[in-house]
């Protein structure tokens, strides 16, 4: 999946597959994870958040099925 680099102290890059509703996040220190059933609006909100790490922790972490892919 193609990811875009982001400005964050925790997240390195973020990608999204609209057809499968998969959000993929590369973390600076812990690898790459995929989050399933993530609506496009949630991805848009993450990318527009002033603090992507805070947004992730509050709205995505532990709220969507997750698997580590790398």
Q: Looking at residue 18, what is its pLDDT?
A: 96
Both structure tokens of 42 = 């949630």
Decide if 69 contacts 34 (C-beta within 8 A).
Answer: yes
Q: How high is the pLDDT of residue 6?
A: 97
pLDDT for res 30: 93
Instruction: Say what the pLDDT of residue 69 is.
Output: 97
Other Cβ atoms within 10 Å of 4 Cβ, number: 9
Yes or no: say if 47 and 1 are a contact pair by the CB < 8 Å rule. no
pLDDT digits (tens, 9 = 90+) for 32-44: 999 999 999 999 9
Domain-wise residue ranges, the chain: 4-68
Structure tokens at 35: 């989050």
What pLDDT is attached to residue 41?
98
pLDDT (mean) for 54-68: 98
**pTM (two decimals):** 0.95
Phi, psi of 66 (to 5 degrees): -130, 145
């Amino acid at each position: 999946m193609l990811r875009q680099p982001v400005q964050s102290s925790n997240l390195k890059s973020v990608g999204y597959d609209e057809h499968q509703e998969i959000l993929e996040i590369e973390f600076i220190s812990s690898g790459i994870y995929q989050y399933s059933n993530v609506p496009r609006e949630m991805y848009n909100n993450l990318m527009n958040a002033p603090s992507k790490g805070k947004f992730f922790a509050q709205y995505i972490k532990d709220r969507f099925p997750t698997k580590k892919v790398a």
